[in-house]
Structure 1
Amino acid sequence: MRKTIIVSNRLPVKISEKNGEFTLQSSEGGLATGLGSIYREGNNIWIGWPGLEIEDPKQQEKVTKQLRQMNLMPVFLTQEEINNFYEGFSNETLWPVFHYMGVYARYEQSYWDAYHQVNQKFRDIVLQIAGPGDIIWVHDYQLLLLPGMIRTEMPEISVGFFQHIPFPSYELFRLIPWRAEILEGMLGADLMGFHTFDDTRHFLNAASRLLPVNTTANVVSYNDRAVVVETFPMGIDYDKFASLGNNPEVQEHLKTLRENFREERLVLSIDRLDYSKGIIQRLQAFELLLQLHPEYISRVVLYMIVVPSRDTVPQYKELRDDIDKLVGNINARFRTLSWHPIQYFYRSFPVEMLSALYNFADICLVTPMRDGMNLVSKEYVASRNNNDGVLILSEMAGASKELSDAIIVNPNNLGAITRAITDALNMPLPEQQRRMRQMRQVVSKFNIHHWVKLFMTRLAEVNEMQQNMLARRVNQETAVLIRQQYRQAKKRILFLDYDGTLVGFQPNIDMASPDPDLYQLLRELAATPGNDVVMISGRKHETLGEWFGNIPLDLIAEHGAWQKTKEGEWYQLPGLNDSWKPEILTMMEQVTDRTPGSFVEEKSFSLVWHYRKVESGLGEQRANELMNTLRYYTVEKGLQVLPGDKVIEVKNIEINKGKAALSWLHHKKYDFIMALGDDVTDEDIFKALPSKATSIKVGSQLSAAKYYLRSYHEVRHLLRTLRKN
C-alpha cells in the first residue's frame, strides 16, 4: 500500500529515560503540528533521530517498538556521529555559511565524512521501509545528501525536499569545499522548496554555475530529469495561537503580567541563542532608545527571552557572555528603584506563558541578521485577537516578504531599529489595527496546514509532469514509430535547424562548420527518393550558401529573411527594412565594451549579441540588462527580441521560422513532416506545423514539440536510422 515517508534530523517526540524505562511525549513544534496530519495516518511514517544516544541493542529495540506505535522510526546515532555530523558539519559548517556568517565556518574533513556517513545511515533506514509508489519528503540542511542517495537506489520514487533555513548566495556557498556534492544530493529531489524567492534564486544560480545543468525559469534539467525549485513560505498553526488566549492558564499568566507591568509598555523579544539572531544589535538599539529618549525611562521594558542553545561551543558561550554583560550594563546605567529596563531570561518557557506574552506585549521586536522564515513573528500576529500591537521585523527574515505591514528594518541599522520602536510606541490604535488585520489575514490563510497541502499537491503535479516528459523522450519505441511513418510515406519534408541541432556549440561561431560525417548524412537524406530536406537556420545566408550550396538542400537563412530552393537562387523576403539597425547596434556595442568575450554579429535584417565566451554569471547579468533596455526600445519599432543559447537577437517581427516553414508546405502536399530544433526560434516552427507533424526539441524537455532529444549526437543517430532499410 502506498505511503508517505517523512525524514528529518529529529523525530517529533521528546524522549526521556529513567531506570531503563523510556517515556515518549509528542513535540508541539510547528513542523510536527503540520505534518501530524500526514505521519499519523495509515501506514505513513516519520524517520529521524530520537534525540538520545542509546547504545544497547536491546534498549534500541525497545524504543523502536514504542516509537513504531506512534508511526515513528528511529535512526540511532553514536555520540561521535552526533558530535561530527550534527554539532560539526551541520552546525559549524553549513549553519554559518547558510546564515551569511562564513567567518565562523569550519571545514573539517572529519565533519564531512561523518555527515556523509550519517546521511547514508538515514538512507538505509528509508530503503528498509520504502516501496514503489511511495512519497518521501526530506527536511532541512542536515540531510542535503539524502535525496540523491535515495534517487541512486530507487530512481522512480517520488522525493520532495524542503530547506527550513536560508540558502546563501553563490559567493558564500562556493566557500564550502564539498559544494558540488551537496548540490548533487539536493538535486535527487523532484521538488525542492525554500521559504523565499531569494533562496530559490540563490540555489538555481549556484546549481547553474557549479554543475553542468540547464536551468529554465525554475526548472533544473539534471541527469535527464526535471527538478522543480519553488518558493513555499512556511506558516504556523494559526488556530492554536489565536485560541490559546482563552486558555485559563494563559489568562492567569496575563493577570500576573498586568499586575507586574501596570505603567510600562512591553517590548517582547524571543530567540534561541545564536549569532544569526541579532540579539546584541537589538540590545544596543534599545540602549540607544533610552539614551536619545529619556522620557521612556520607567515607561518601557524590554522583555527578552533567550532559549539556551549549544552554549558549550566557544562562539555561543562568548555570545552568551556578551549578552549578559550588555544586559547588566544597560540595567545598571538606566534602572531606577522600581524599574529595570530589561527583563532578561536565559531559559525556555511553556507555550502558555509565551501566548500570554504575545497577547500582552505592545511591541514584538524580531530583528535577526538572517533567518529562513522566523515563526515568532507569525505567532505574535496570530495571538493578537484584538488586532492591536506592532510587529517590528528584520528585512533579513523570510517572514518579512509576507508580513509587509510590519515595520521593516535593517537589523544592522541601530538608528532605524530605535526609530521603529518610537514609531511603534506612538502608533495610533486605528493604524495598529489596519496593519495587524492585514497581517492576520496572511498568517491565517497561509498557515502550516496550507503549506503542507501546497507542497504535497505541487509534488504530485511535478511527478505527473516528469512522467509526461519521459513519455515524450524519443526512446526505442518512439524511434521505431517515427521510422515506420517515415518509410511508409511517399512525400516527406524534413526541417533541420543547424547550431545545437546538427552540430554542437563552439566558443567561436565560425568553428561550428559542418564535419564530413554531417555532409555524408545530409547527402544521403537529400538523395533519398521522396525527400525534401530544408536547412532552416539563423545563420547568415552567405554562410549557409558556402557550406551547403553543393548539396541538394532547400535553405532558409536568418530565420526566414533569406530563402533558396535547391534549384534556385537566394531571394529576400519582401517588405523588410534595416533602418533600425544603427540605434540597436549602438546599444549592443555599449554592452560589448563592458563585457569581455562578447561580440555583435550583424545579419541582413537582424543583430545578434553573443556571450558564449563571457565569464559565467557576468554574461547572464549583462544579457538581462540588454534585454530590459531592448524591450523598451523595440516595442514600437516592429522588432522582436529573442533570447537564445548564450545569444540575444533582435530582428524584424515579420521574420519567423514558423512562417517560413509554412510557405514551404504550401507548395506541395507531404504525408510525413518532421522538424528538429533547439532554440526559442524553433518553437515558432513547432507551433506552426500541422498536428500530424513529428516535432522534436533538442536539449530541453520544455517545449511545444511532441518529443525531445538530449543532444545533437542523438539527432544524428535518429536521422541515420531513418535512411537504413
Structure 2
Amino acid sequence: MTKKRRILIISNRLPITVKEENGTFDVRPSAGGLVAGLRGIHQNDNDDTWWIGHGGVFGDDPFTRLRRELEPRKLVPVPIDQTTYDGYYNGMANNVIWPQFHYFPSMMHYQPRNWEAFEQANRAFADTALEVAKPGDWIWVHDYQLMLVPQMLRERAPNLRISYFHHIPFPSSEIFRTLPNRVALLRGLLGADLIGFHTYDYVRHFISSAVRLLGKDVYLDEITHGDRMVKVGAFPLGVDCESINAVCEELDHLAPPQQPFQELNAPLVMLGIDRLDYTKGIPERLEAFGRFLRKNPDYIGKAVLVQLCVPSRQKIPSYGELRARVERLVGQLNGEFGKPGYTPIHYLYQSFSQKDVVALYRKAQIALVTPLRDGLNLVCKEFVAAHTDEDGVVILSELAGAATEMGEALSVNPFDVEDMAAAMLRAATMEPAERQSRMRGLRKRILEFDNYVWCQTFLDSWANITETRADKSVKLEPHAFADFTEQLRKARRVFLFLDNDGTLTPIAARPELAIPPREVVELLRQFGLFGKMHVNIVTGRPREYCETYFGDLPLNLITEHGIFMRSRGEFEWESLIDLEDYTSTRTEVKRLFDMFVRFVPGSHIEEKIACLVLHYRQAEPLFAESQAKLLIETLHALLGKTTLSVFPGKKTVEVRPLVADKGQAVEMVLTRHDFDPDQDVFFTIGDDTTDEFMYKIHPNNNFSIHVGKPNVHAHYYVEGPVEVALLLKHIHETLASDLAGQSAPEIEDPEPADPVGAADSVGATDA
C-alpha cells in the first residue's frame, strides 16, 4: 500500500515511560511486544500515525503539561483519574478478563464497581480518539483492556474505519460464556471492521461465541452484525528482527572480557524469560528442571537454568503469592543440587535492557518457553532471531499460540513435569546436525515474518476489506429505474439472474407450499420473445421443483445453489461439480439432522440430490435457534476436512459442497456467453445470504438488488417479492416499447399477484 494514511493507534499504555521530577517529565521509550510490533508504522514517514494511550500521569495540571510535551512526538495521553484506572486495569482487565481468557477461572475476582470503571475508562479512550480523529482516519484498537472501544467509536462515528487486535488468547465459548458482561464485550469487538487474533484457534473460539451468545450468522471468516460484515482473521505477531540483529552485531564486536554474563560459563545453559505471571508455568518449569537433574545426575555441575522474571502487577495479591512460591522452589532446588562453585538455578527478579536480554539468548543453548497458556509468546521467536549461529533448541509449550508456527521446536505439555524433563534431556543430547537443521527452519520463518511484515499484512487486509466491500445498499427508487432503463436500451444483451424463494415467490412455512405467482411466471415466459434477454433462475430448490414450475420457460435453470444446470431449450441436466465427498458424508449429516428433528418439534428435513436442508420455520423460535447454533458448530467440526460446508439460512441449516455457490454459477454463465461489460448488462436479485455470492460477481458491473432490508453486498434493495414483480414488469414493458418504437411507460404502484393454483399460498425459504 503506497497511499498515505492517517492512522490512530489506541492501546492501554503509550510506548513510553514517564517520570515526573520537580515539575519536569523524564520521557523514555518503553519495551514490549506491542511496542516493537507497532514501532515501524509509528515512526514510518509514509504514514501519519498517532498513538493514543494512558501516559501514567494523574491530575489535571500535570496531565495538561504532559499532553503539550508529547504532541510533537504524535503521542496523545488519555485522561483517567487514579481510582477509575485502578478499577479498570487491575480490577476488571487483570483480575477478571486476563485469568478467564487464560483458562484460570479460579483466579477471577469480579466486582460490579470495577466493571463500571472499565466502561468509564474505555469511554475515555474512545472520547480522546474522537477528539483527535479526522474524516478518513484509520483507528486501530489494541488488546483486551479496550474491548468496548470499537463499538463506542462506531456509535459516535458510524463511518470510521475501525479495527481491533487481540493480543491474548480468546477462550472457548464454554469458558467465555461464564464471564460477567460477556455480551457487552462481544458487541464491543463487533464494532470493528476487522478483528485480528494470533491463531486460527482463537478465531474459531470468537466466532463460536458470537454464534452461541449473540445468534450471529457466519460464513467462513465473516460475521453479519446488523447491516455490516465483520471480518475475523489470524495474524501471528512477529518480533523486531532488525533491532535484535543490530544488538547481535554490537555484541560480536565486544572483546570477550566486555561480554555480558561472563559468569555463565557452564557447559549447558537453559534459559527462561517471563513476566512473573501465573500463566507462564514458572513453578512447573522449575520442578521439571529439578526432575531432569534427579534423573540425569551426570548434568549436576554442568547444567544451569537461568530464570529471568520481570516484575508484573505487583499490586495484585496473587502475583505476590506466586513470587513467594517461585523463590521457595529456587531455594529448595539450589539447596538440593548446589555445591561450591555450582548454582543450578540463577534466579533474576528484575527488568533487563534489550542488549542484556539478547546476550542471555546467545549464552543459552536451550530456551524453555513453557507457559500454561499464552496468546502467542515472543520469547521463543526472539531466542531464534538472536541465534545468528543457527544453533540451539527451543522447548515450547503446546499451549502457547506460537506453537502453531514453530513446528521445529520440541513441543511439550507444560502441566506434565515428566514430559518437560524428558524434552530437556532430548535437547541436551541432540546431535548438532539436527539442532542446526531445526534452528535454520525456525530462523527462516521468523526472519521472513517479522513485526514489520505482521503490521503490513494486517493493514493490507484491513485496506482490502475497506476498498472491496460494497457500501450498504440503498432503496431502489424510481430515478434508479430510469437509469437502469437507459442501460437496458443501450445494451447488446441483458443477463438476468433471479433467486426464487423470497424473491419471486413469497416466504412460506413448508417447501411444498411454494408456488410462483402466475403473473411472474408469465413475465418470465414473455422474456423469451426478446433476443437480447438471457434469464436464469438460480435457486437452492431441487430439480423436480424447477421442472414443475419453470420447466417449460425459455430460460436456464440452476438448482441446489449451482450444483446442477439445465440450459434453455435442453432437457438433460448437467452436474457442475464432483459429488463424491458429499455422498460419503451424507449418512452422518443425515443422522445429526434426524436427531435435531427428534428434539425440535416443527422441524423437518428436505433431501435433495446433492444437499440436505433442515427447516425449522414452524418450530418454537428461541429454542430452535439455540439448537441450530449447536448443530452448526457440530457440523463445522465434522466437515472441517471435507469439501462440504454448512450454510445457515433463514430458519434453515444446509449442508452442500463448499464450491457450490450461486456466484460460481453466475460466473460460469457469463463466461459461457462471453459477457462483455462494455456492451452487455446483468443484474442479480435475491433475498438470502446464499444470494450474496451473486452480488459479489463483477460488483462494478452488477446491478445487484437485495429483497428485504439493506445488504452490504448489494447496490440496491426492495422490500419484497411484490416489488420484484414490479421491476420485472417494468423491464418487460421497456423492452416491448423499444420493439414497438415507443417510450417506456410510467411506473405504477404494484398489486399483489395471484399465485398459480392457490391465492393464499406463500413460498418456502430458499434453502
Report the CA distance between 1:553 and its aligned residue.
11
Rounded Cα–Cα distance in structure 2 between residues aligned with 1:337 and 1:659: 78
In the alignment, does 2:654 pair up with 1:647? yes
For 1:291, the equivalent position in structure 2 comes to 294
In the TM superposition, residue 69 of structure 1 has moved relative to its aligned partner by 2.2
Please give the alpha-carbon distance, in whole angstroms, between the structure 1 residues aligned to 2:292 and 2:97: 35
What corresponds to 1:634 in structure 2? none
CA, structure 1 residues 545+4, in 2 after alignment: closer, same or farther (shift >3 Å)? closer
Q: Is the 1:503–1:512 contact (alpha carbons within 8 Å) kept by the matching residues of 2?
A: no
SS at match of 1:69: helix
Q: Report what 1:465 is aligned to.
A: 468
Which residues of 2 match residues 393-432 of structure 1 at below 5 A? Answer: 393-432=396-435
2:631 aligned residue: 619
Q: Identify the residue that residue 499 of structure 1 maps to in structure 2.
A: 501
The Cα of 1:238 is off from its aligned counterpart by 0.8
Kindly report which structure 2 residues correspond to 1:469-488, keeping only aligned pairs within 5 A, or say none: 469-470=470-471, 476=477, 478=480, 480-482=482-484
Q: Return closer, same or farther for 1:495/1:59 CA change in 2, 3 Å cut-off.
A: closer
CA distance in 2, matches of 1:409, 1:81: 41
Does the CA contact (< 8 Å) of 2:708 and 2:720 recur in 1?
no
The range that moved more, 715-724 or 187-196, is: 715-724
Higher relative contact order (CA 8 A, sep 6+): 2
Aligned 8 A contact 2:499 2:539 in 1:
yes
Answer yes or no: is 1:163 the counterpart of 2:174.
Answer: no
Residue 240 of structure 2 corresponds to: 237
Structure 1's unaligned 5+ residue stretches are 632-639, 666-670
Q: Give the structure 2 partner of residue 608 of structure 1.
A: 612
Displacement of 1:339 after TM fit? 2.0
Distance in 2 (CA, whole Å) between partners of 1:349 and 1:673 is: 65
Work out the CA distance in 2 between the residues paired with 1:524 and 1:574.
23
Distance 1:490 1:238 in 2: 58
Residues 275/501 of structure 1: CA separation in 2 closer, same or farther (3 Å cut): farther
In 1, Cα distance between equivalents of 2:354 and 2:375: 22
Q: For residues 278-337 of structure 1, give each alpha carbon's deviation from its aligned partner in whole angstroms, at most 9, with x where no partner exists.
A: 111111211211221222211211111111112332221221222122222222222223
Is the alpha carbon distance of 1:620 and 1:701 closer, same or farther for their aligned partners in structure 2, counting shifts above 3 Å? farther
Q: Which residue is equivalent to 2:55?
A: 50
Q: 2:324 aligns with which of 315, 321, 329?
A: 321
Identify the match of residue 94 of structure 1 among 88, 94, 97.
97
Aligned to 2:352: 349
The aligned residue for residue 134 of structure 1 is 137
- Is residue 124 of structure 2 the alignment partner of residue 112 of structure 1? no
CA–CA distance in 2 between the matches of 1:135 and 1:460?
10
Alignment of 1:446-457 (within 5 A): 446-457=449-460
Name the residue aligned to 1:27: 30
- Shift of the 264–587 alpha-carbon distance from structure 1 to 2, 3 Å rule, reads closer
AA aligned to 1:676 is: I
TM superposition shift of 1:684: 9.7
Q: Contact 2:645 / 2:655 at 8 angstroms: preserved in 1?
A: yes
1:203 match: 206
Matched residue SS, 1:63: helix
Cα offset for 1:505?
6.9
Superposed displacement of residue 28, structure 1? 3.5
CA contact (8 A) 2:251 2:359 kept: no
Distance 1:156 1:297, change over 3 A: same
Decide whether the 8 Å contact of 1:658 with 1:686 is kept in 2: no
TM-score normalised by length of structure 2: 0.78
Superposed CA offset, 1:222-273 (max 9, x none) = 2322322222211111122223134369957986767534344211111111
Distance 1:340 1:544, change over 3 A: same
Change in CA separation of 1:693 and 1:434 when aligned onto 2, cut-off 3 Å: closer
1:208 to partner: Cα distance: 2.8
Aligned to 2:440: 437
Conserved? CA contact 2:473–2:716, under 8 Å: no
Q: Which residue of 2 aligns with 1:635?
A: none
1:107-153 C-alpha deviation (Å, 9 max, x unpaired): 32222211111111111111111111112111111111112211222
Contact 1:250–1:352 at 8 Å: present in 2 too?
Answer: no
Aligned-pair Cα RMSD in Å? 4.6
What's the offset of the Cα at 1:32?
2.7
Structure 1 residue 174 and structure 2 residue 180: aligned?
no
Equivalent residue for 1:267?
270
Structure 2: how far apart are the matches of 1:386 and 1:526?
73
Partner of 2:223: 220
Instruction: Report SS of the residue matched to 1:284.
Output: helix
Partners of 2:224 and 2:197 in 1: how far apart? 18
Q: 1:364 to 1:539 in 2, by over 3 A?
A: closer
Preserved contact between residue 173 and residue 205 of structure 2 (Cα < 8 Å): yes
* Distance in 1 between residues matched to 2:39 and 2:700, nearest whole Å: 48
Gaps of 5+ in 2: 617-623, 674-679, 730-746, 749-767
**Equivalent position amino acid for 2:471 in 1:** L
Q: Which amino acid aligns with 2:313?
A: R
AA of the residue aligned to 2:39: G
The correspondence for 2:343, drawn from 340, 343, 355, is 340
